[in-house]
Structure formats: structure tokens, C-alpha cells
Structure 1
Amino acid sequence: MISLTIVGLILVIVFGSLRIGVRAWEKGEKDVEMRQRERIVLDLVKRQIASIFVRVVKDKDEQPFFLKGDGGSMEFISRIPMVPGNRAGLVYVKYVVGAGDGGKKRLMFSEKNTYIIEKVMEDQAEDEFFELIPGAENIEFEYLRGPSEDEEESVWQETWDPDSDKGVPVAVKIIFQDSKDEDPIHVIAPIKSDAS
């Protein structure tokens, strides 16, 4: 009787430790999948930003499209579409950092073919955006202004306004922080410009 009790306790301990191991493995797999998804999304965003079309494109009202952005949004014309099936040349892209659940931030984007849009889309409905990253502690954009006559060095700035900033930035930095416990990830997309 005592030996059966001891065998039963050993089985409970073994199966309990197996259950704990399986849970830890599943949680680790979930974290790996989430990290891979974030890395892929950031790489795609970097690729699209790096392919900014730097020449002047005008809408039907003859208003030019230029890169415009701040810490929480950015819009530009790109040579590379991210949406599958959108293969017809240049696309108008808008990235927006919005509020998510529990005070988290989420990265959303919208993309339209430049042939079918009639004007720069200032106010788009939220249902026109795709969610790329659902819940992050922080997501920001910064813009690298190249050296000018007044300054010898390049300077990172929080906004890029085509009315006050000449051409396009030398690079765009995406600052992504998944949680408060982690250090932020800085993804820098260099922009090759022959027209800045």
C-alpha cells in the first residue's frame, strides 16, 4: 500500500513537471512567433520607406505629394507596394501610430495606388487602415536631416514638413519598444535621393 502511494506521488510529480515544461515551451513558441512577426513587419516598413519616390508627383488638382511626417504618422509615395495584389506602380502610403488596448500603441497603415487617388488623403476612415503591430509600448518616427550650409552635421528631428524642410530626409528611424522592460529597437531606413 505504501509503495503504491509512493509510485502515485512520483507519477504526480513527473506529470506535473511535464505539464509545466509544455506550458513554458508553448509560451516560448508564442513569444518567438510574435518577435518574428514584428521583425518581418519592421523590415517591410523599412523597405517601403527606403523606396520613397523622390520626384514630384501631382494629384488631379496639381498639388504635389511629398513626404510628410511627425512622431506618430508619416505619408509618402513609394515605389514598392506592401499590399498583395497592388502591382501597378507607385503607391500613396500612410503610416499611423494609434491608441491600442490598455494604453498600448499600434502601428497601422493604408496604401492606395496613385492612379486612383484624387488628392492627398488627409482624413481617412479607420477601416481603410491595416493593423501591422497590435500592441507595443512605444512606436515613433524620426527623420534625419542632412547637413546644410548652417550646420555641419546631420540632425535627427521629430517632424518632416515639406513646406519647411527641403527635399526628403537622408533616413527615417522607426523606434519600436515592445514593453517597458525591454530596450527600444531602432530601425533606420536610408533614403537614396538624387533630387533632394
Structure 2
Amino acid sequence: MRRQGIRGFTLLELILALSIVGAVLVIMFGGLRVGLAAWQRGEHRAADLDHARSLVLLLEHALEGAFPYRVTSDDGQGPRILFEGQPDRLILVTLSPPFPAAGSVAFTAMSLSGEAGGLTLRQQALPNPVALDAIEPVLVDATTTAVRFRYLGGKPEEWQDRWDIGKEQTLPRAVEITLVTGTGGGPLVPPALIVPIRATAP
């Protein structure tokens, strides 16, 4: 009596099954790679946003302490308030410097500008005859790709790209700061920061 043989897989069926398993694995690993890349982009974006927030808080603290400090004018027209307001540059005197000096210093002049594609901050204790542009920066943030300032004041009161201290004779009522940051994940523009200035006139 002959035993009937048990039929196994043919070579073609085996190759087909392995091909299907391989295709499923490729799809799974492709999806995993895409998900991992998206997660890493999200992490970088969150880090950029945290960094931008820390810069905004640093600048907000300094501007809240702005003071109408008078210096001797170079043109011989008497004392003037030390303040320069341009679209991409801001010079002021503050009672709350971003990086406090070691000693007891009441007034600190600081300069913010968008130099060479980054945010540059200089500061010095007053009185000091050295021009701000001649001293080394205390902060150069290369992740800031653009910085923009606007100033609230004038008659009628409105936002201006420049603040003429010689004409206005007071500090602006508020300063708006817009930063554009990013480290490769595309530009990141946090909401504009508007800082009211309490002491506008001596």
C-alpha cells in the first residue's frame, strides 16, 4: 500500500512569499524613517522656539528698564537723551541690563542690531567715553536671521520705523521687536514683542 506524499511549497510559492514579506518590511521601515525624520524636525523646531523665547525675554527685561539718560551732545546743542531708534538698530540706556556688571552700576548703555545676519548686543556701564560700536559684543546670536524694531509715539501717536530723539525729545511710549530665527528648519517668526516704556522723559 502506497502512502500518499504530503505536498510542500513549490520554489515559486516560496519566492513569492519572501517577496511579499520583503515588501512589507520595506514599507514598515520606510514609514518608521519618515516618522523619525518628522519627530526630529519637530524637536529642532521646538528647540528653535525655546531659544527665540529666551531671547525675547532677555530683550523684554532690558527694555522695561529703559531710562531717558542725558548726555552732552556732540553738536554743541546741549544735553540730549541717549537713544537711537532705527528699523534694524536700537541704542538705549537701561536700568536692567541683559548681562549685569560685576559692580553696582546704575546705568548701562546697550546696542541691539542685526549685523551680519545675526543679533548683536553690546553694553557698557555709564558714564563711559568709549563708543558702543568700538567695544566687543557680549552676545552674537547667529540663529537670529533678522531683527526689526518699531517705535510708538509722536503726534498723532502711531508706530514708526525710526525714532528721531532730537525732534521728539522723549523716549517712545513702546518698542516693538520682531525676531526671525531658525537653524535649518525654515524661518521661525515668534509673535512680535511690544514692550511699554515707563520713563519716557527726564
State TM-score, norm by structure 1.
Answer: 0.75
Q: Residue 75 of structure 2 aligns with which residue?
A: none
Structure 2: how far apart are the matches of 1:171 and 1:81? Answer: 18
Q: Residue 56 of structure 1 aligns with which residue?
A: 70
Q: CA deviation at 1:24?
A: 0.8
Q: CA deviation at 1:7?
A: 1.6
Structure 2: how far apart are the matches of 1:98 and 1:53? Answer: 25
Q: Residue 132 of structure 1 aligns with which residue?
A: 141
Q: Residue 11 of structure 1 aligns with which residue?
A: 25
Structure 2 CA distance for partners of 1:107 and 1:182, relative to 1, 3 Å: closer
Structure 2: how far apart are the matches of 1:139 and 1:63? Answer: 30
Structure 2: how far apart are the matches of 1:6 and 1:88? Answer: 75
Count of matched residue pairs: 180
Matched, 1:66 2:82: yes
What is the root-mean-square deviation in Å for CA atoms of aligned residues?
A: 3.1
Conserved 8 A contact 1:41-1:132:
no
Q: CA deviation at 1:129?
A: 5.1
* Aligned-partner SS, 1:193: coil
Structure 2: how far apart are the matches of 1:55 and 1:135? Answer: 29
* Aligned-partner SS, 1:185: coil
Residue identity over aligned pairs, in percent, reads 25
Structure 2 CA distance for partners of 1:124 and 1:19, relative to 1, 3 Å: same
* Amino acid of the structure 2 residue aligned with 1:118: P
Structure 2: how far apart are the matches of 1:80 and 1:183? Answer: 25
* Aligned-partner SS, 1:128: coil
Q: Residue 25 of structure 1 aligns with which residue?
A: 39
Q: Deviations over 1:32-87 (max 9, x none)?
A: 110121122122212211211234367xxx97652222111111111112126656
* Aligned-partner SS, 1:123: helix
Matched, 1:46 2:60: yes
Structure 2: how far apart are the matches of 1:87 and 1:7? Answer: 71
Q: How does 1:87-166 map to 2 (within 5 A)?
A: 88-89=104-105, 90-100=107-117, 106-114=118-126, 117-119=128-130, 121=131, 123-124=133-134, 127-128=136-137, 130-132=139-141, 134-136=143-145, 138-146=146-154, 151=155, 153-166=156-169
Greater gyration radius = 2
Conserved 8 A contact 1:42-1:187:
yes
**Gaps (5+ residues) in structure 2?**
1-13, 73-77
Structure 1: how far apart are the matches of 2:79 and 2:179? Answer: 33
Structure 2 CA distance for partners of 1:34 and 1:92, relative to 1, 3 Å: same
Structure 2: how far apart are the matches of 1:195 and 1:63? Answer: 13
Conserved 8 A contact 2:64-2:96:
no
Q: CA deviation at 1:181?
A: 8.2
Structure 2 CA distance for partners of 1:158 and 1:177, relative to 1, 3 Å: same
State TM-score, norm by structure 2.
Answer: 0.73
Conserved 8 A contact 2:153-2:172:
yes
Conserved 8 A contact 2:148-2:177:
yes
